[in-house]
Structure 1
Amino acid sequence: MGALVLAAVPAAIAMTHLDAVGVNNNLVLPDALVLEMAAAARARQFVTMTMMKPATQSVIPQMKISGNEVTTWALPEGAIARLGRGSVQDIAFSPQGPHLAVCTTVGIWWYSLASKLPFALSETERGMVAAISFSDDGRWFAAGNIDGVLKVWDMQPQVCAERIMGETQVSLQMRPTFSSQMRPTFSPDGHYLALLAEGCNTIDIVNPATGEHVAALGDNTPVKKIRRPAGKLVAFSPDNSLLANVNSAEDMSRDFVTVWDIESGVCIARISEHSDFVYGLCFSPCGGFLAVGYWGGILRVWDIFRGTLELVRTDYGKYRMYPAYSPTGELLAAGLYQYENQKVVQVWHVAQAEQLDTIQLLRGKVRLVQFSQGGNQVAVASSSELKVWTKPDDTAATQVSFAAHQDTVESIAFSRDGHTLVAGYRWDNVALWDVARQHSQRVLEEHPPCRTQVVHVSPDAKIYTVSIHENTLKVWDIQKGELCAEMSGPERPGAWTVSLSPQAELLVSGYKNGMLIVWDVQSGQKLHILRAHTDRIQSAAFSPDGKRLASASWDRTVRLWNVENGKEVGRLPIHPSLAAAEFKAAVPEILRDVKPRSQAEKQLRPRRLEVITFSPCGRWIAGGMIGEIRLWDAMTHEIHMAILLPDGCKRPFALAFSPCGRYLASGSWWRGTEKVSIRLWDVANGENLATFRGHPTDVQTLAFSPDGELLASGSFDGTILLWDMKPYLQENETS
């Protein structure tokens, strides 16, 4: 049995404390107070903040819902629609009214629990919102993004009161495992805001009204970031005097819980005599008890002041436990069981040993389980699915689902008539988007979601998808809903990338060990095993006539194959030694990048190609590598052009030719910018015809409509943006 240790600050815990900040309830806020948390001064001795010029901003911009207008909210310039609402990262129940704030990779979606419809979208300038919290009285609202920026709003005038920045690069260098993402938790009276930075066992407490730093509780121990379904890892006592938080051991083998006196900054208790992971904790309404939920279906309740273990429940099986107290002191718990395609949450009344309900998710991996403030609601969310369970007094429980959120977009393709956009999602299934109406229909719902879905449209208008799950490959006819073929590859390693030939007669699968297998789709049999590569196959593509295959590997080679006999027929040169005249870019960029390459030619290794594709006519092969897009002549294998990329878009890992073959679109992976870029290039001369910025993170896949007038971009953020190409292509054709 575990033990609760009542003690002063243990020697292993270094704590720093600044004088508590007095709170003036009559404080008049300026329109906005912007603060910077200067991490260069934060060797964890204290936190300093620098005042900056404020900018008034409403947290909930009101938006009218009419027809499909939700797909046009907060669109970037050049885009005509956003398909999907981004992957779910965190949620919070509003204390004032039946509203739900859902933070996603796109921004914060505000939903009415009654209608299940969104009424606002905020924080889209950067997106990637990862954590949110309301104060119990509803006055304060805090949201933090993955860059370590946390904003605090005063909800009464609805203005941004503070903007708090997390660690800078200086502290990242000192603590390389530290993540600056901050998770906010308000005290019940709203006078304190606790900030838990992922990757560190320290809680910072600030005054939300002034931004002044109150205390730093804990040590400076860096810990590895653990991906686990988030619950409540920080809790204040009802009288605002105590704070409990979950800490991770340095070796990440277990968690422990510490309880702090906020005013003195002293650790009054430490719960560490167990070897379990903690998934949630909460104080009882009287403030004397602390309930802790563990891995393995275990609940423990401690008397904080006596140091005794009051309750142990170990009969919840292999569930991860999330406790919550109702305002009347009843202990509730939600237990999550997640294994492969099973994702079940059970809601329990602990004292009565009564299971109140079961919540089941079908798609994605569960990321969070959270109770509402009163304990009568539970939200369960994966990146692509969100359900809210509600149990009003003396009435039957209800479950509400919120659709339109998806995980990473793995691949997209337009139907031959251009009316439908087919999208394959990670850990999900396939969706068919009506381009005109901007509505989607999920297909293959009866089949378990898979790690990867690669979609393909053949010249005869048939729509296929290839699903990858461990070592099994399945090819589906989407229109018929039929399984065309099922192939089993080697047990280890599993397939990393797949591609169908134009007519969907052949399938190539690439593996982490460098092996390629060419399959006959109709029979499901192996035609060739290609073993020339020595490292992971990152990308593979068939030529338009289906007779050749190009493969790019992490062994820094690009090979061409004869599909009929399985023989290697050539390699594409990717060595960096090129004359400056062969590059297409602004002159300063050429001088900056090319000269160092030539000077260090002997020391440089060939770079890795991350994506490869053929032009529709089969004349060109395009590949994306760090800092460069390269085009080769598909017949001679000679370099046709090398396009140097400017800062901020040096990872062009998504490429697509226009149907006419005259244009090439490239999408970047994220690298320190608010939005990543999508660029349109002229294949003949390498001119950058247009640049679009809309996704807050990696562009995974691109596709042109059959008439070339639309470009679709699918992102790691779980959305697809539709871009109007007509102004740029027509202008280029006219000129």
Structure 2
Amino acid sequence: MLNYWKIPFSGKDLSYSVMINADFSNGILDGTNLLGAKLIHANFSGSVLRNTDFTHCDLHTVEFGEFPVVSLVDTPCGITFGHDANTFFVAGVSKCLCYANGKISKITTNCEITSIAYNLAHDALAVSTTENVSFIWLKTGEKREICKQQQKLKFSLDGQYFVTCKRKIISVWSFSGSLLFELDQYSVILFLEFSPKLDFLISCSSKQIYVWDMKERKLIKSFPNPSPIRYMAINPTHSHLLAVAGDDMIIYLWDLRTSVNFTNLTGHFEKIRQLKFSPDGSLLASASGGTRSRDNSVRVWSISNYSLYATFAGHTESVVGVDISPEGLLVSCSYDNTVRRTKIYSKRNTIAEVGPSAAINCGCWSSDGNFFAITCDDNTVTLFSAKCYQLLHTIPTNSSAYMAQFSGDCSILVAIDVSGSVFILSTKDFSLKTIVLGSQLLLLTLAVSPDGSEIFIGGPTTKVHIKDGIPKVSKGDVISYCLCYTPTGKYLLTSTVKGLQVRCNQTVKSISLSSCGNAIFSPDGKSIAVALYDHIQLFSVDLEEKQTLQGVDNSEILALAFNPSGSILVSQGRNHKICVWDVLKGVLISELSLHSGVTAFGAFSPDGQRYLSVSWDQSFTIWKVREGEEWIVIWRFSQSPGLVAKAAKIPVNKLSYNNKQLLKQYGALMVD
């Protein structure tokens, strides 16, 4: 018998030992062998277990996780996170529990609950019962029955569609509840999944996997799984990767492009009851348990090398539900009527597959900080949640999407493409209005009034004014590079090939400038910053010259952005760098080098804590802004092979795109 207290356990062989008061708290156990060990009064609070064997480990009075255990009065059957890591929903036999910021509320149903799903885009919870599917809008409490006698509900990644089944029939619905089409599997359906890009749908029977084409609405392929299927999940950022839990306690990983079972994950010794990928696709969680109660664990697997990342024990009965939040919080529910939570990683940046596939031209934030959008040469405008960086909606454009901007009240997103089309998207219900002005118009600049009622668009020879959805086209005499409003909407700034023009009601002031490019107002509307090829000139709103900021490397400056306080100005351009300026001192603070292509656009979040940079290298990056310190990467999207850096450890201005040795030095995870 061994009596341990706060002793390092990593790499230890503790098989078949008896431990009393073993303190595993706030540490990482890597390679510890606990085969057949007996733990009495063990403390796992805040700990992470990697490559640790819990086979036949006997646990007594174990504290696990850095968060309080939540007790349930109803036997759970599923769990899902809400809009943040402090909110989750647990499905019980006859009621659904909402846990938000430490408080529990109940949502009752008239019959047995079979599944639940959360829709981030609409902040709605879907509850599937043995008789129907209902939606509950969490802000208003409104509850509505959507479809009867349907089960196994799954939302699409953007939240605009959901799929259900009734024995052998698959039904695909719009979020409003309109039935779009049905598919006949000719065998009883067990599970359903949308692909992240909505190009195909996956279903399964007890032993067969089916892949359906969403556009053609027909079966593409089917193939058998080696073992009867217990659960399945598709990777949210790598749409070809499907994980299937077999009845033989093995997780089968399939490449849907080739229908090849390329590797398996083994380690559970009871039935696998649920699978869940992390939002960034880097980890897979599996929940286990059976009648003999030998396992009752959650195992987390690394997708980068297909190995065990961590094991989480503590439940005394079968674990039947698991989920991972974007912040790295894992939550699980069990037949022991408890919910347990623990931190498995700090929120980090990621490379995702869902998103643009060509050069990115523009990025913008909504003024409430809930959304950001990007425009791309692949004929798309993509709307993301700024809270968890999840894709919410994609607007297909007729040609290269050039500019986008939210209205001041955040009610609409306006985008233009180079073919002469204007796209107006409602951020409330994602309804889309398209105005086709004609392919003869080259639309380059865009400004939306604060209330969204007026839209101004400029081009080489054209001016367009859209009011209340009605366009008025007039000829312009000069090429417009930029249009923007002051926050109050009092002034409208136009940057042209000849210089600057400031309009206030019917009064117009102008100044002649050579090599005039992008121009913006300061947040207080009292100053103007304009890019004059390789340097920046600051003017008052009356166009009186105030200050000059010399550029870097004599390279052309393409984009400018003020932080909300107006103390920092960021410039981007053809030298691939992001230059951060102290406006009051007129000095360059730092240069950030991460993109490998022209950095064509950038914007601060409304609170000034984050910065969005986009590039022609098919990537965009969310940076954490730290005044007086180095900026760090929070989240990164790239279609090209790249990197996932541990954001808290890598000074960005010391980071070059291909400097792998430096990345390894800081402990970064390299992704091929």
TM-score (norm 1): 0.37
Q: Which has the higher contact order (CA 8 A, sep 6+)?
A: 1
